[in-house]
Amino acid sequence: MSHDPISQSISIVHPISLSHGKNAEVWDTAGKRYIDFVGGIGVLNLGHCHPAVVEAIREQVTRLTHYAFNAAPHTPYIELMERLTAFIPVSYPVSGMLTNSGAEAAENALKIVRGATGRTAVIAFDGAFHGRTLATLNLNGKVAPYKQKVGVLPGPVYHLPYPSADNGVTCAEALKAMDRLFSVEIDVSDIACFIIEPVQGEGGFLALDIEFAQALRRFCDAKNILLIADEIQSGFGRTGQRFAFSRLGIEPDLILLGKSIAGGVPLGAVVGRKALMDNLPKGGLGGTYSGNPIACAAALATLDVMTDDHLQRWGMQQGAAIVSRYETWRARHLSPCLGRLTGVGAMRGIELTNADGTPASRQLTQLLGLARDAGLLLMPSGKSRHIIRLLAPLTIEPEVLEEGLDILQTCLAQLDE
C-alpha cells in the first residue's frame, strides 16, 4: 500500500518538483528549465532569489531569527512598519499590523471593522478571492472548490456583481444590484464594510470600473460604511504603481497586503486609518509569528528595490510587451479560442473562449500542459478556469519575457477548436 504524506485535498496545477530558481526561471529536480509566468502566484514580483532580498535574509538570520512582537518588540518589525506606512499612497495617517499571510490580514480586518462599527455584515463581490480560512471563504465570490463540504460559514456576507470592462458588467448594473440588495436583503445600516479587489486575481484579472469605485467610496462615506481594498495580489507594483487602488482615484479605509511584500518570505499586513487600527482593546491584534524578523528584513529589502521609477518602468515594459504580442495574435487569428485581454499594467489575463462565446476551460487545461512541456509555467484563473493569468516577475529580462511569449504563441496555435 502506497503512502502519500501530502493531503490529496491540495490541488496541484503543475505535477513537477522544483529545485531552484533565479529571477524568472526555475529548474525542476530532473534539471529541466522553465520560464516562470506564475511567480509563486504573484509572490515573486522581484523574481526568485533577488540578490538584495537574499542578502537581507542572510544578515538577519545571524542576528535574530524570531521573537513574538507582542512579547517583546524587535527592530525589523518597527523599521518595516515605519517604511511600509510611508509607502502607502494615501493622505491620512496610517498604522497597521503585520500578519503571516494575506488571508490572516483579511481576518484581522474583519475584526477591526466589527470593533469600529459595531456591525457584522460584509459586502463582497462575485469572483472575489480573499483566502482559504473559514471567515475569508465566505467572502469569496465562488463556491467550488473553496466552500464545498465545510458547512455553515461565519457571516453575514452578501455578494454583488463586480463591474469591469473585462467582464461586461457595467457600473449601472452593479449599482442597481446594490439598490436591490438594500431594498430586499439587508438594511444598509447593518453593513460594516465593503471588501473589494481593485483588480481581481483569482477572478480572472478583471480591473474594477473606475466610475463604480468612486460611487462606492461616496456611498460608504454617506452611510458610515468602511471600504477595504484587497491589494494582496494587485499590490507592490503588479499594475505598474505601488497599489492598484491609486488608478481608481479613491482612498480605502483599510488595505490588505501580502504576496510580493517580502520577496517570497511569508508575510502579510493590514494597514489603514490609524483610528480604525487602534480601536480594538490591547491584545485584540497580534500573533506568534506575525512580523517574524527574517520576513521583515526581506520586506525592507523589497521596499528598497521597489522605487516608483522601477515600478513604473517594469510595469510599462512588461505590459506593453504583452499587449503588443496579444494584438498581433488577434490580428493573425492565431487561435479560435483567443478571447479578451484582461487587467491593467503587468497584471494581465488572456481569456480562452469557444466559438459560441462560452469559456474554453478544456483548452486552457490543454494549454497548461503544452506550455509546461515546452518550458513555460502558466496559471489558470476565472470563474470557469478559462483565463490565463500572467504573473512573470517584474524584473524579468526582456529577452526571457519574449522567449516565454514565443512559447505561449506556439502553444496557443496548437489548441483544439
Q: Are residues 154 and 256 in the same domain?
A: yes
Rounded Cα distance, 81 and 71, in Å: 17
Q: How far is CA 200 from CA 298, 339, 396, in A?
A: 26, 18, 23
Domain harbouring 57, CATH code: 3.40.640.10
Q: Is 177 exposed, middle or buried (0-12, 13-18, 19+ CB in 10 A)?
A: middle
Q: Are residues 40 and 100 in the same domain?
A: no
Q: Are residues 265 and 381 in the same domain?
A: no
**Final residue of a domain: which of 276, 305, 334?**
305
Q: Are residues 127 and 251 in the same domain?
A: yes
Does the pLDDT value for residue 24 go beyond 80?
yes
Instruction: Give the CA dihedral 99, 100, 102, 106, nearest 10 degrees.
Output: -50
Does the pLDDT value for residue 146 go beyond 70?
no
Non-local (6+) Cβ contacts of 6 within 8 A are: none
pLDDT on residue 49 = 98
Coil, strand or helix at 121: strand
Q: Are residues 215 and 246 in the same domain?
A: yes
Q: Are residues 315 and 264 in the same domain?
A: no
Q: Are residues 62 and 108 in the same domain?
A: yes
Q: Is 7 contained in some domain?
A: no
- Could you tell me if 345 and 315 are in contact, meaning their C-beta atoms sit under 8 angstroms apart? yes
Q: Is 5 contained in some domain?
A: no
The pTM of the whole model exceeds 0.75: yes
Q: Where residue 4 falls among pLDDT bands split at 50, 70, 90?
A: confident
Does the pLDDT value for residue 368 go beyond 80?
yes
Domain harbouring 41, CATH code: 3.90.1150.10
Our count of domains for the chain comes to 2
Q: Find the domain containing 277 and state its range.
A: 52-305
- Could you tell me if 372 and 14 are in contact, meaning their C-beta atoms sit under 8 angstroms apart? yes
Q: Render pLDDT for 107-122 as a digit per residue (tens, 0 to 9).
A: 999 999 999 999 999 9
Cα angle 79-82-88, degrees, rounded to a multiple of 5: 135
Q: Are residues 35 and 161 in the same domain?
A: no
Q: Is 358 contained in some domain?
A: yes
Lowest mean pLDDT among 138-152, 218-232, 245-259: 138-152
**Final residue of a domain: which of 245, 276, 305?**
305
Q: Are residues 265 and 325 in the same domain?
A: no
Q: Are residues 124 and 41 in the same domain?
A: no
pLDDT, mean of residues 85-97 = 97
**Final residue of a domain: which of 271, 305, 339?**
305
Q: Are residues 373 and 289 in the same domain?
A: no
Q: Is 149 contained in some domain?
A: yes
